[in-house]
A and B are shown apart, each in its own frame.
Chain A
Amino acid sequence: MRYLPHTDADRRAMLAAISAPSIDALYRDVPASARLSGLLDLPKHMPEMEVERELTALAARNRSAGAMASFLGGGAYRHHVPAAVDHLIQRGEFLTSYTPYQPEVSQGTLQMLFEFQTQVALISDMEVANASMYDGATAAAEAVMMANRVTHRKKAILSGGLHPHYCEVVENYARWCGFEATCGGPDPQGAEDLARQIDGDTSCVVVQSPSVFGHIKGYSALAAAAQKAGALLVFVVTEIVSLGLLTPPGAMGADIVAAEGQSLGNALNFGGPYLGLFATRDRYVRQMPGRIAGETVDADGRRGWVLTLSTREQHIRREKATSNICTNSGLCALAFSIHLSLLGEDGFARLAEINHARAVQLAEKLAAVKGVTVLNDGFFNEFTVRLPRPAAPVVDRLVERGVLAGVPASRLWPERRDVTDLLIVAATETNSVAEMDFFAQSLAEAL
């Protein structure tokens, strides 16, 4: 077996060195009733070539987004990732190292995390960020639990513009961890009034911008209203490229930012692994979940980095930790950081401008299709259209023409009958004008 270096002679020599008659003797502590004698009913080992053939065949049974005209968003976005990103993250020193517990031999990962934290803080206009969470949805749930700790309250108000999967994750944590999270139903018009719902028990208000329907608006007044009532504003971003063009959460008074960072550096990957971003104000840092890299000096006085403020974490505090999180999304954070380093100030802004312009072009083309209405006034690279008939069958018809037309709202809210005619559509820099024309034309024919 190609991954196992021992020869039978090695094994015999080692057993002799430890005075064990056989491998079985090393398993003598296993209760006799639980010892397996033969092999389990699974295939035996396979040559590399055959594994590759079999899994390549499985991959070929999927239609990749890049092989179609894809306008899917809804929390995962298809962007062009520069070739250098994937090359660098495959360097074995990054790929095959562990969490940097031994800082003297982990300065690469630690410095990268320090840079990543700074990048996240800069683009969100927050003061401090952690070294990543699993994804945007779990970051949102952790943000609500952190707000509960900060405010000593247990009631979160979730916007109807929050991605329903994020709502489900937060509600799930609420149900089982013992706090309250109320989510108003879908808000396709962006018309809800959250400030009115805040009361003396509210720990936080959770908003998403751009919303799951693509709406963007200012949240400064809501932040002020929440803070006046002693609550925090949790700001969710599922399309992080938007921060190249939009007022950042920090400038609108957000207390915690919980975001999905997949758009930079990371492929669609059928939903994972993704990258939860988490940022907050300095004053709340000791309630923040997750790992944090910090600057210090070594024995020779040279600048270096370590994991720090660990007294928040499970391996030190156990049942009193701020979160149970341990392994997070290190390599995805690296990909994000490399991509953003390549973009730089101007590139990040320009990428965002292109995305917005593409979406504006697409909105104009779709609005010109008979029976189709664009619901949004303001949007970034994603918006919602109302079709004259249920959206899901239309999407299926367009698949046959090689178009992934967007996310039918019924996919996200399967139990709501009032959103079946809504289709959430995204455009990025990867979409050409020809693709958009083809989409509009195909849609017109399918309706």
Chain B
Amino acid sequence: MDKSQGRTSRPETGGVAEVATVSGHRGLMMEEPLVFEQGEPGRTGVDLPEVPKTVERLGGVKRRQAIGLPSLSEPQVVRHFTRLSQKNYAIDSGMYPLGSCTMKHNPRLNEKLARLPGFADIHPLQPAQTIQGALELMDRLAHWLKVLTGMPAVALSPGAGAHGEFCGMTAIRAALQARVDKRNKVLVPESAHGTNPATAAALGYEVESIPADARGRVDVAAFKAKLGPDVAGIMLTNPNTCGLFETDIVEIARAMHEAGGFLYADGANFNAIVGRVRPGDLGIDAMHINLHKTFSTPHGGGGPGSGPVVFSAALAPYVPLPYVVHGPEGFRLVETAEAGAAPFGRLKAFHGQMGMFVRALAYMMSHGADGLRQASEDAVLNANYVLARLKDTMTAAFDGPCMHEALFDDHFLKDTGVTTLDVAKALIDEGFHPMTMYFPLVVHGALLIEPTESETKATLDHFVASLRAVAARAKSGDAAFFHAAPRLTPRRRLDETRAARQPVLRWRPPTPRQAAE
């Protein structure tokens, strides 16, 4: 595989990085100004119809000033955004082993189906008789999620994982309130995603951190010592962010329930165990599922996501509005509280991320019960393979086996002058997106690698070979090479300190003096 990549470039001794061009472009790497720097009054990218002649009824609040938007033709706009796209790394172009983020293949069938007018061109407030197919789709998705998790209820509306956390933790709060229980603490392991403590804090809970033990799991003794009548629950990621299954989770659930609290699970890593373990069998009371991770709805450069939450029987009555039910007249959307339920309220303007529901259901149906299980197993196999192939060169943070991601710390870089960040940037020049860096916080200089099930063995071998070479180079004392990486990207290392200290958060038109220069 390596040989097929062509002659090794040696950018530090002349070559690509030092080629100067008149245009500023470098072959396929195009410089592209801001859209605001390309406009010309009189151009347009749309041909709109004439404005019908009517008498304005604007109630005295008509806009008086120009906005300052640039005016471009369609070919300019298409080229602008095409050039911007070419400055992005993407799962379509290469391996994207960003731990905890689950960058797996995004099937194009799902894109096609989400765009069917029967799904994309329906209004959220259409009468129920015109949207039976949409409601049935939501009902089917809910069924798959309930069966896969072994939990009896689901809320589909949360917009992403963190919104799902808010949903699940609110249900816990509602259940406590219903029994007039004013617990004010939530336990969060040190290794948790930042969204967990942020969610608990937003709900007014005091956050208590639980340390990890030497095996990278929740320190059960420390956890039990914190239990008491003031603890509302624990937010646990399983498999956890070290890529490890929480071996004591059943005991943690039992102890938490005995102490009167609830077990919330961050389901960001559900993709490791689909079809092998049902969260409901572990004693979990609520868990969000990132459809944009486990069920492969595209990340889109930062969303949209979708974060449905499954609930245990204890929390089922509090599932928020709206939800879909099936009755004699077909499917129906419940938007106000009905007898027997105590929904805690609305989380979003409408019913959830329908476009993501279509994609996720298509993904599930394509895989089926057998394929979903196989996908989890392949993800776990790939991570273990990477772990096994790298652990003699890099330092594995914990003993294996791991689940869907392999965690290393930076001990292998000790005294080299090379950091985790430097390794990540050097890997970019090798044609890979870096792993997650400096997370989880429980190990020093973390490098968290999640290959996903989408990669071939050949790609993994190529990745491993590249990373081994990078690690060997770091150990050989060539720190200067690393500090200058990356060299082959549209931009080299960016000054983040300057961005934060002198924030420039938008374009502004040049002042007359700047324009004259």
Contacts and interface: CB of A to CB of B under 8 A. Distances in A.
Contact of B96 (A34, A98, A168): A98
B120 interface: yes
8 contacts: A4-B374, A46-B366, A175-B345, A273-B159, A308-B503, A314-B194, A318-B201, A330-B301
Contacts of B344: 172, 175-176
Contact of B365 (A54, A118, A319): A54
Contacts of A166: 349
A292 B43 CA distance: 30
Contacts of A20: 384, 401
B210 interface: no
A66 B366 CA distance: 29
A389 interface: no
B488 to A, nearest CB: 9
B77 A341 contact: yes
A64 B495 contact: no
B61 interface: yes
A188 interface: no
B281 A33 contact: yes
B50 to A, nearest CB: 8
B136 interface: yes
Interface in B307-354: 320-321, 335-336, 344-354
A216 B61 contact: yes
Interface in B85-115: 85-93, 96, 98, 101, 103, 105-107, 109, 111-113, 115
B300 interface: yes
A309 interface: yes
A357 B385 CA distance: 64
A159 interface: no
A172 to B, nearest CB: 3
Given A102-B89, A273-B353, A295 B348 contact: no
B221 interface: no
Contact of A273 (B82, B304, B368): B304
Interface in B25-59: 32, 34-36, 39, 41, 43-46, 48-49, 51-59
A379 to B, nearest CB: 6
A414 B457 contact: no
Contacts of A245: 58, 62-63
B61 A90 contact: no
A106 to B, nearest CB: 6
B84 interface: yes
Given A292-B505, A298-B492, A39 B198 contact: no
Contacts, number: 728
Interface string A72-105: 1011101000101011111111111111111111
A378 interface: yes
A107 interface: yes
Contacts of A299: 484, 492-495
A270 B134 contact: yes
B407 interface: no
A224 interface: no
Interface stretch (B2-10, B226-234, B271-279, B411-419): B271-279
Interface stretch (A133-141, A196-204, A439-447): A133-141
A20 to B, nearest CB: 7
A434 interface: no
Interface in A115-134: 115, 117-119, 121-123, 125, 127-129, 131-132, 134
A318 B346 contact: no
A72 B84 contact: no
A29 B244 contact: yes
Q: What are the nearest 8 A-B pairs in CB distance?
A: A378-B59, A271-B350, A59-B118, A331-B300, A92-B92, A61-B133, A271-B124, A330-B302
Contacts of B204: 176-178
A105 B428 contact: yes
A184 interface: no
Contact of B121 (A58, A65, A112, A346): A65
Q: Quick one: which of A14, A46, A61, A134 has the most chain B CB within 10 A?
A: A134
A115 B36 contact: yes
A106 B86 CA distance: 9
B410 interface: no
Contacts of A287: none
Contacts of A349: 63, 67
Nearest to A378: B59
Interface string A37-72: 001111111101001101111111111111110101
Given A246-B61, A327-B160, A343-B69, A62 B130 contact: yes
B281 A317 contact: no
A96 B106 contact: yes
A56 B46 CA distance: 31
Contacts of B117: 59, 64, 66-67
Contact of A378 (B57, B120, B197, B201): B57
B72 interface: yes
B48 A18 contact: no
Contacts of A10: 456-457
A346 B499 contact: no
Contacts of B481: none
B84 A108 contact: yes
Interface in A380-429: 380, 395-396, 399, 404, 407, 411, 414-415, 429
Q: Quick one: which of A20, A82, A107 has the most chain B CB within 10 A?
A: A107
A298 B109 contact: no
Interface in A330-344: 330-332, 334, 338, 340-344
Contacts of A43: 365, 368-369
A339 to B, nearest CB: 9
B275 A39 contact: yes
Interface string A299-334: 110101110111101111111110111111111101
A106 B355 CA distance: 25
Nearest to B80: A341
A296 B401 contact: no
A4 B81 CA distance: 31
A104 B282 CA distance: 41
B492 A300 contact: yes
B335 to A, nearest CB: 7
Contact of B496 (A217, A291, A306, A323): A306
Contacts of A54: 365
B395 interface: no
A244 interface: yes
Given A17-B388, A114-B34, A134-B160, A271 B494 contact: no
Interface in B113-164: 113, 115-127, 129-134, 136-137, 144, 147-148, 159-163
A292 to B, nearest CB: 6
B408 interface: no
Contacts of A17: 385, 388-389
B113 A176 contact: no
B513 interface: no
A18 to B, nearest CB: 4
B134 A82 contact: no
